[in-house]
Structure formats: C-alpha cells, structure tokens
Amino acid sequence: MSDVFDNVMDLARRRGFVWPTTECYGSVAGFIDYGPLGTLVKRRIEDLWRQFYVISEGYYEIECPTIGQEAMYIASGHVKGFSDKMCQCPACSEYLRADHVAEAHQVKNAATLSCEDLARSICTLPCPACGKKLGTVEVFSFNLMFQTNIGPGSQRKGYLRPETAQGIFVDFGRLLRFYRDKLPFGTVQIGKSYRNEISPRQGMIRLREFTQAEAEIFVHPEEKEHPNFRRYAEYAFPLLSSEQQLAEVEAKTYTMADAVSKKVIANEYVAYYLALTHELLVTAGVNPQKLRFRQHLPDERAHYAEDCWDAEIFSERFGWVETVGIADRTDYDLRAHADQSGDSFTVYLQYETPRREKRRIINANMGVLGPKYRGKAKAISDALQETTPGKDGATVTIDGEEIFVPADLYEVREEEVDVRGEDIRPHVIEPSYGIDRMIYAVLEHSYHEDEVEGEVRKVMRFPARISPIQVAVFPLMARDGLDTIAGSITRELQNQGILAEYDDSGAIGRRYRRQDEIGTPFAITVDYDTPENETVTLRDRDSMKQVRVRKDQLADLIPALIRGKVAFSSLN
C-alpha cells in the first residue's frame, strides 16, 4: 500500500526533483542528487532563509571550508564524543546501531546506556537484518565524522565538518572586529555538512551529506532581550514544553511575550527565533497544522544549554521529524575554543560610564619586611595583594614555600577605583536548520490530488516564491506566429530574472497538467485573440481559473504575483 511518501518520491524522481545518486554504479545510501527542479526549490528555500536572516536580521553570511583540521574538532568535542554505538551481527556481518536494536525491543533509555550495558541488553535479541539471535557481540563507539588526510605523507588529519557552526565560532575574533567590537551580532552559514551514518535508511531525512543553515548570534550573557522583540511579542503558536511532556498533556498556544514572562521559554532571544522559524517554515510551504515546537527534556538537553527547542514537522511516513533546533548554548563553544587554542574569545566592553568600585589594598611595611625577608621581600609584598588576610596575619606562598606574615607588617585599607569596562565571553543563541528535511516537508505538504474532468490531477501547491518554474508560457498552437509571440514573452520574463518555461508540445490540457504536477503557479497562453487584441490568458494553478490580461502588463504583473504583492483573485 503506498502512502504519500511513495507518491511524492515517485513524482520527485519522475519529474526531476530528487534522484538516487550515481545510479549506474549502484546508489550509496545516505546520498541523493537534487535534479533540475529540486535544485531550484533548494535555491529558493535557501534564498528565503537569507531574506529572513541575512537581509532582515542583518546577520552576515560567511563561508568556511568543509574540511577542517583536527584541533578544531578536538575543541568542539566531536573527535571524542560525536559517535554512535554500533555492533556487527556475527551471523550476517551487517553493521547495526546497537541502541536502535535495543529500542525496537522496548529497552528503556537505550540511547543513554554504556557499550557494556547495551551489549548485555541486546544479546538475546534477533538481528534485524537476518533474524538470528545476536548472542555475544561487541558494542563499540563509531565516530560519525568522515576522516581524510590533508596533503601528502598523511601527516595531517582532516575531518569533513559535522556542522557549519564551528567555522563561525573559530572566526569569532575576526567577526567581532567586523562588527566593530559590539554585541549583539549574528553570523550565518549555509552549506554542506557530513555525518557518516552507520546505516541510513530514511531517504532525505537521514543523509550522510546534507545542507545546514545555521545562525550563531553572540549576545551579552546578561542581556537576552532581543532588540526587535516587539516584532513577535504577540505572535502565537502551540508550544510543547518539557513540563507539558512530563505531565503528558497537549501542546498549548502562547504568545511569545507570554511564553517568556511565564518562563516557558528561557528568554526573548530564544522566543524570537522560535517565532521567526515558525514564520519562515510556513512561508516556505510547511503546513502550520503539521508543525510543532517541542522543548528538550532535561535528560536530552546538553548540560551546558540554557534552553533548547526543536521545530518538528509531521510526515505521514516518518512521524514528527526534528527539522530545526533552537538553543541557548551559553558560552560553551567559545570557552571550548579558548581553552584549546589559548586565544581569549572574549569582547572588552566599555561601561557607559566608568564604575566606581571598592578595592582592597594591602600595603606592606617594607621598612620591616625588607630586613626580615631580604631577597624575598618584594615577592611577599606582591603576593600579599592577592591574599585574604586573617585576623593575626596572612599566609603567602613564595617559590613553593609557605610564609606567615604577621598582621603588624602590613596595612589593609579600602580604595575606590574607576573600572572602565570588562572582558565578556558572549553567549550563543543558535537556530540550526536542516535544509533537506525542510525540502522534504515542503514536498510532502505541497502534494495534493484532486479530480478534474473525471481524472486525477496531481498538483504541487508550492507557495509561488518556492515553485521551481515560476511561469509557463504556451502558444495555443506552435504555428501561425503564436509560437513567436510566446517565445518573446518567455525571453522578456527571463531577462527580468523570472524562470519562465516555454512549452508548445501536446494538447493544452496536458501542458497545464504537466505544470500543475511540478507546481508552476501561473501559466500564460497565447491564442488566436492575442495578435488581434494584444491580450493573453493567465491561469492560476490552484483555482484553475483563467483571466485575460494585456500582454504589456505581464512584465509587471508576473513578478508581483510571484512575490505575493498582487493576488490572482484580485484580477478582473
């Protein structure tokens, strides 16, 4: 029995959205090709993402290499911790995710078990590939980074990046100067990331090579009010907080202002990007009825994260699929790179006005200290500054030797000093999008079948700005000059940057169906009235209604319709 997944993927293969890769040599799981129409959809979704993050938010994009050196991934924790637990079936030699085998047989918390405990819990279970009992198997960690060598002689290890974020973190110093040493600022990256999955089997949902769009927003740790929060303060949608999940109750609709004030969401920054993500996904064509925001439970949230939410999209085949993650990662990443590299990864922020701060000064009586401690007197005097003296005196350590200095050898007093600023290590707010999953969701949610004149019409109801082909141009017949007129309309629209497709083959009804199936929102037909009165018909994909418009209006009208500035229903 076929479900919408089968229908969508059949259409996607047939019409050139998504193809298995290198089919003639046998495809490799976890890799796909975007065909001509799929690539257009991908570009349009990436550009929509840029419209939100780069142009509106003002977060510049950078582009770092996909191959990174080892030190970076030691710092980020990927060399040590980015792994899955796997085993190999002794009978059929298939590689298996040990935690998945356990989970499929209701072993609790399989994802959190150690290798030894997992091995114990699966030894009585059957191999999902061959069905034989697994018995005694070794469970081991398999690092999910693709590894390679840079340059000859294999001296230098390189890894294909498992996420785009690290490239931004290590550029923090340069970025800070670019943003003129002020917080907050954001930087984004869109590009390929890689995870060497053990046995990916979910089409576009689990890829070994995939596209991420990530924003890293650097904020003052104590200033998590978004400067533009107003924009989404009253924006409302259902939230499934960790509390609600633990109480096993339904998602509840909040405005972002409410969610922050009731502490459902940790701060304005996280709330702002939940709302922006909601708006972006729906604009791209995700059905809002099949979209929810789920907070990480305490035991799934990274220890350093202050808050973390997933935008999950419902798929008929795969259930709720995590598509976007939005987290307050605190200063974890910058601190990790500071520790590994020795660079500071901080920003010196001047106070608006210098702060008067009390500071304790300890003045040694050198007249006594000098003769008493001789060569060590200066070191003792300096060391005293750092101590907290007791009632009788203070103990300092000089060259490993503990020295007790009686209270009468120094004087303690408090002074007021001007402090002009401080070194701050920013916190990071990170919205991270899986572009391929987003594309799959848009394909699935756009797919519709209806009946037209007794026949099934398959139609991809993409939002006009996502549709691969933006307008089709047909001559009613490929002769009598109609083809010439249609050709020149096509070229004129192309010169404006519109992706217009000319098609003169087959019956007009079949040409409409072909465009419906790939989601082309509008079709222009040049007929025998066109040479007479300079008008063409313009057809709307969803309503299938047609109106006549003047040919010389098209250059303005088509871009306006695609950008949603004019509604088709407002014509005639």
Within positions 335 to 364, which residues make up the interface with a copy of itself, using CB under 8 A?
337, 340-343
Could you tell me which stretch among 14-22, 346-354, 408-416, 423-431 binds a copy of itself (CB under 8 A)?
14-22
The nearest distance, CB 195 to a copy of itself, in angstroms, is: 11
Tokens (6 digits) for 105: 């047989």
Interface positions, 87-106, toward a copy of itself (CB under 8 A): 88, 95
Stretch that binds a copy of itself, among 21-29, 111-119, 387-395, 532-540 (CB under 8 A): 21-29
Interface with a copy of itself (CB under 8 A), residue from 4, 7, 31, 325: 31
* 63 is a contact residue toward a copy of itself (CB under 8 A): yes
Of 101, 322, 294, the residue nearest 206 (C-alpha): 322
What letter does residue 51 receive in the DSSP assignment? I
Distance CA 239, CA 555 (A): 43
- C-beta closer to a copy of itself: residue 52 or 293: 52
3-state secondary structure 144-208: CCCEEEECHHHCEEEEECCCCHHHHHHCHHHHHHHCCCCCCEEEEEEEEEECCCCCCCCHHHCCC
Q: For residue 119, give the H/E element and its range.
A: helix 115-122
Task: Give me the 303-342 binding string for a copy of itself, x by CB under 8 A, dash otherwise.
Answer: ----------------------------------x--xxx
Binding string, residues 181-200; x marks residues near a copy of itself by CB under 8 A = ------x----x-x-xxxx-
Scan for tokens 């047989």, then name that residue: 105
* Stretch in the footprint of a copy of itself (CB under 8 A) among 147-155, 248-256, 267-275, 303-311: 147-155
DSSP code at position 55: I
**Cβ distance 474 to 539 under 8 Å?**
no
- Which residue, 251 or 498, has its beta carbon nearer to a copy of itself? 498
Task: Provide the terminal-to-terminal Cα distance of the chain, rounded to the nearest Å.
Answer: 44
The binder of a copy of itself chosen from 76, 98, 122, 167 (CB under 8 A): 167
Q: Which of 5, 12, 42, 226 binds a copy of itself (CB under 8 A)?
A: 42
494 vs 546, beta carbon nearer a copy of itself:
494
- What would the x/- binding string for a copy of itself be over residues 470 to 509, using CB under 8 A? ------------------------xx-xxx-----x----
CB of 267 to a copy of itself, least distance (A): 24
Output 122 or 394, the one with its CB closest to a copy of itself. 122
Task: Using alpha carbons only, give the angle 354, 356, 359 rounded to the nearest 5 degrees.
Answer: 130
Q: In which residue are the tokens 């590009």 written?
A: 191
- Interface mask (CB under 8 A) for a copy of itself, residues 204-243, using x and -? ----xx----------------------------------
Question: What DSSP state is assigned to residue 253?
Answer: E
CB closer to a copy of itself out of 235 and 314: 235
Whether the Cβ atoms of residue 193 and residue 162 lie closer than 8 Å to each other:
yes
Identify which of residues 46 and 312 has a Cβ nearer to a copy of itself in the complex.
Answer: 46
The region of 40-48, 324-332, 395-403, 540-548 touching a copy of itself under the rule CB under 8 A is 40-48
Q: Which stretch binds a copy of itself (CB under 8 A): 152-160, 218-226, 238-246, 374-382?
A: 152-160
- Only segment of 109-117, 165-173, 301-309, 425-433 that touches a copy of itself (CB under 8 A): 165-173
**Residue spans of alpha helices (H) in 304-355:** 332-341
Q: What angle do CA 396, 397, 403 make, to 5 degrees?
A: 60
CB of 227 to a copy of itself, least distance (A): 12
Return d(Cα 217, Cα 187) in angstroms, integer: 6
> Would you count residue 387 as binding a copy of itself (CB under 8 A)?
no
Stretch that binds a copy of itself, among 49-57, 414-422, 524-532, 535-543 (CB under 8 A): 49-57
- Shortest CB 155 distance to a copy of itself, Å: 9
75-112 as b/e: b if 16+ CB within 10 A: bbebbeebbbbbbbbeeeeeebbbbbbbeeeebeebee
Q: How far is CA 31 from CA 86, 197, 202, 380, 403, in A?
A: 21, 11, 11, 66, 67
The residue among 48, 56, 347, 330 whose CA lies nearest residue 217 is 330
The one among 7, 51, 244, 287 contacting a copy of itself by CB under 8 A:
51
Whole-angstrom Cα distance, residue 437 to residue 518? 19
**CA-CA distance, 346 to 235, in Å (whole number)?**
34
Residue 174 found at the interface with a copy of itself (CB under 8 A): yes
Please identify, using beta-carbon distances, which residue of 23 and 401 lies nearer to a copy of itself: 23
Q: How far is the CB of 170 from a copy of itself (least distance, A)?
A: 5
| Pick 41 or 256: Cβ nearer a copy of itself | 41
Given the complex with a copy of itself, which of 196 and 267 has the nearer CB atom? 196
Applying CB under 8 A, the span of 52-60, 233-241, 426-434, 445-453 interacting with a copy of itself comes to 52-60
Reference 509, options 482, 544, 553; nearest CA is: 544
For residue 25, the one-letter residue type is Y
